[in-house]
Structure 1
Amino acid sequence: MPHRVLKKKTGAGRGRKQTARRAQAAGGKTSRRAAFLPDAALLQTLLDHIPDCHIFIKDRESRFLVTNAFHLRSLGASGIKDVVGKTDFDFFPAEFARRYYDDEQEIMRTGRPLVDREEAMPAPGGGMRWLLTTKTPLFDARGKTIGLVGISRDITPRKMTEDELRRHKEHLEEIVAAKTAELEAANDKLKRENEERRRAEEHWHAEHSRLSAIMDHLPSCHIFIKDRQSRFMATNAAHLRLLGLADPSAVLGKTDFDLFPPEIARSFFESEQEMMRTGRPILNLVEKCVYPDGSVRHMLTNKIPLRDRDGSITGLVGMSMDITDRVSAELAVREERNMLRTLIDALPQWIYLKDTKSRFILANRRCAERMLLKSPDELIGKTDFDFTSPESARQYAEEEAAILATGLPVTGRRDAYKTAEGEEVILEISKLPLRDSSGNIIGILGFNEEVTERCRQQEAIRASNEMLRSVLNSITVRVFWKDRNSVYLGCNASFAKARGLDSPEDVVGKTDFDL
């Protein structure tokens, strides 16, 4: 599904676009990246922990904005700064870069994604790699294409396996054809032909042994072959271990109904029969499997139909990888984000994140409620100019610009604020610079606490103390008060005058030995 980036078209928005274009002309890679993807630090961490996937985001001119660590290595780059703002022409030979560029421009021109294309890519150390690539356009709120997101998976081992199987199949077909022609040519050559058949069978067994050895030395890949009725014909050692078996003969001729719960076996069987009926392979399917030992695993499965020399489907070859740890990690990340969201929504303070253009990228429920918004999502992409007076908004923008420039936080600053309901409140404002994993400032983290009642109480206490002091100073009785160590804490005017002091404050901290 195409992704959309929501933005509100305002006068301030046009100004920010002009500022972003000037920053881009000056080589401002960080600003371009932060403006396109506000929560870059969080997203970068997530992308860098997705294994075996090349993930990247490009702008309208096919320049890299975001990429993960796995993709960085494939480009031969040491860090994200070596990639942002560059294009494929900076990393690949011209003929490859041109093909990638033309494909991407066609995607952004038509708005149609490119899905599961197998394409070659030069490897940094030499040679070629095969990738299964999907590129999807990104749209803004008006449906205008602003870039694309790409995901590629390395399928070189699969291509090599397919080529190897094809070569063996063609070789065997050539042998069978040659032997058949010899048998039809002359009966007097039967003895020699029988000898040739014996040699061909030996050759086939040798080839089968070599293929089995290759399959058994792929410990992280579970490989199996089934016939037209989904019965196992062959399997590798890794798949046997997953099934809790040691002898390959224990699985030959059996089906998934002999190894898995009925509902799981039924889903495997129906999908395989559908594939063999239509000829369409099953690619990158994530399956939840319950194995004989009771363990529940998530598998990434690919199944490809096997065909005979006439093109008829005779079975399938399946390859699956255990991605349980990856699925668990993704679930943990989602749960952690949900807990963080619940936590900040439960706090009474206004909590918000802003990008380097002072646009809201996250806010809690309290912040939205005080601005008379139904959801914190309504704040996203907007600035203080959309909610408060121009003078206050300008003050906040200048304050945040100083934080971004110097890295120095603002803590405990009090400011009068008029809410969207028209209520006058006093806010205690703290703002901190938000940094990415490299220490670069990518935004602002803000905390606003309503301290109106606290300020009123403090003012009442101050007024009460002042009144008490006036009363004490107006009487002729000499009044003083001390702490437990007989040190003066204060006195009235009569006492100060009697002791020859200029004011009651002069007695503070003294003892009778001083007077």
Structure 2
Amino acid sequence: MERALRVALAFCGILAVLWLALGESSAPSRAAAGAVGALAITSLAWQQRRRAGDASREAEILAQQLVDERQKIEHDFVRLREEYEILEHYFETVMNNIPANLYFKDEDSHFLKVNQGMAESFGCSHPADILGKTDHDFFGPEHADQALADERQILATGKGIEDKVEFENFADGKVGWVLTTKQPFRNRAGEIIGTFGMSSNVTELMETRNTLEKERNMLRSLIDSFPDRIFVRDPGRHYLVVNKAMAEWVGASSPEEMLGKRPDDYFPEALVKSGAREDLNLLATGTPVINREWKLRGQKGERRIVVTTKVPWVDAEGRYLGIVGMDRDVTEERRAKALLEKTEQNLQELMDNSPAVVYMKDVSGRYLMVNRGYEELFGLDRADVLGRTDHDFIADPEAADRFRDSDLKVLEKGKSIQMDERLYVDGEPRWYVSVKFPLFDASGRVHATAGISTDITDRKEAEQAMGQLNEELVLANDNLTRAHEQLIQAEKMESIGRLASGVAHEVKNPLAMIGMGLELLARRIPEDDETGRETLERMKRGIERAKTIIKGLVDFSSARQLERLPVNPNQVIRDSLALVDYELRKGGVKVIEDLADELPEIKMDATKIEQVLVNLLINAMHAMGAGEIVVRSRQGRLVGSGRDEGARTAGHLREGDPVVFIEVEDSGPGIDPENLSKLYDPFFTTKPTGMGTGLGLSVSRKIIELHQGTLDLENREEGGVRATIVLKVT
């Protein structure tokens, strides 16, 4: 047993020494191997000493040497362990604080070690959550397959990939750009055992670069599209930037051809020297050159006018880096300006010699041009008008508002308008006919308005005088026509009166004889002859009807004087209603009285007025049947004559006379408009045969006219007819 132990200890010591000799392991492993070897040798030595005893001094020395070696090994082990821990700390500090993703992978692209930043960018809380996984566990096939292919290429070739910019979808759903560097991961023997790499988020940098690239391209496009000649020169006057217009101007094939060259290569010596002095002064003082005009012969020998603007080009610290300039050929512009000034001068002269008032305004109403007529009209100098609006110097704000409104109409419609305008000049009203029209620019947009106003006061006054004279002639003609019609109507009525008087006289006596004969026949007809007696009764009724017609004719043609006494109109109305009360109730007519209180008395023939009212009430009942009649009285003043042809009161009633109105309104169907003009003609009636003679309204109107009043019938808007009697208060 003791022998076997010695052999084992010797084997362990030898194995430890061999491990140390190979030197393949890490520092901690080597320290541990040294300690094991020392322990084995020490134990073996003590075994030998115990066997040999105190007599073996050599064994004792050997043991001491082994103990010293062990202590040295232990000391080295502690030192190496401390160095290892320091290096490990340095490595972890770098891994976790560098602003980039650091990682190590094995040959199968499994993660061996990552830093905290990479773990967080992958959506993990700790690097341990990533170890053993691959890119396919965190990214889509497109990105993961490409990363795997790159790593396999590194393993196969041993060459790394540096500064590769990749588009990436991050774990938080955002997208961006990363800058990646990958290298082979080797052991101490130089063998490739995997890959390691570093990636940084350069999204902001890439976006900035892209933005700068876009802005550079935009600036390049902008300066190349400018017709002006743009350039940038360094302090030595070498061209750094030029646009296409500049290259074409000097005859260069492209802007790139001019880069690095100087003005001496393209311009005359005299211009170059003056320009050089100007550039030196600009760089020395920083004073810009603004719109300096100079002349130059063109490529075809023509004289050109050029305007130059130059400013210093400075960096962020304010140091001068060169000059930025722009040359503009204004030859055509100056020619056009001169032509325009000449045209404006001719136009102004033409306007000043026009008898009309001429002016021009911009879209805001500010005056751009006025002629001498305008100055004389308002007593102003054009210098006090140009650039101002009507509200600035026209005393009448309403007139200024009208002028502005008409300008806005022209601007809105884009068409000319014509109107008559009135202005007060020296306190006197003057009339002007004004034509306002739009002015269009080259693109077809309205950019101003213009107006031409001609004084038409004399013509306006003549027109007004002529119009007034024409109105007077028309009125006189109407009065003459009305008088002529009245004479015709009066003559017709007089003829009808004479005819009625003759007819009544000739028919009255025969009717009396026929009546006596009927009385004689009635005595001789037997009592049981009903047919005979009925026939006699019809004959008697026919005679009575004939007598009624004759009486009406006699009354119509009668020229006797009325017995006019002061009477209250309301009393006459009530007496008339009493006379027809039975007839109205039998016909189912309801009468509504709307009589005014305290009406003045009027001189009238009460019996004749009652005859008129009874006639109107009976006519209303016959026109509507069962219904409603309103009888109204009121006091007022006459407004408008409104008399028909033949009215005999034309010289009696006057506008504003105090009158009493008596109105009879029914709820019937109204009067056919075609019959309104025939209502007062004798023998005209719309009633069935046997119900009217056609003389009622004619006689009634004559009675009212004899009272110096009027009788009018009209259809009501709500339906039915309104008869209105107007009697003058005396």
TM-score interval, smaller chain: 0.3 to 0.5
Give the number of the structure with larger relative contact order, counting CA–CA contacts within 8 Å between residues 6 or more apart.
1
TM-score (norm 2): 0.31
TM-score (norm 1): 0.44
Tell me which structure has the larger Cα radius of gyration.
2
Greater helix content: 2
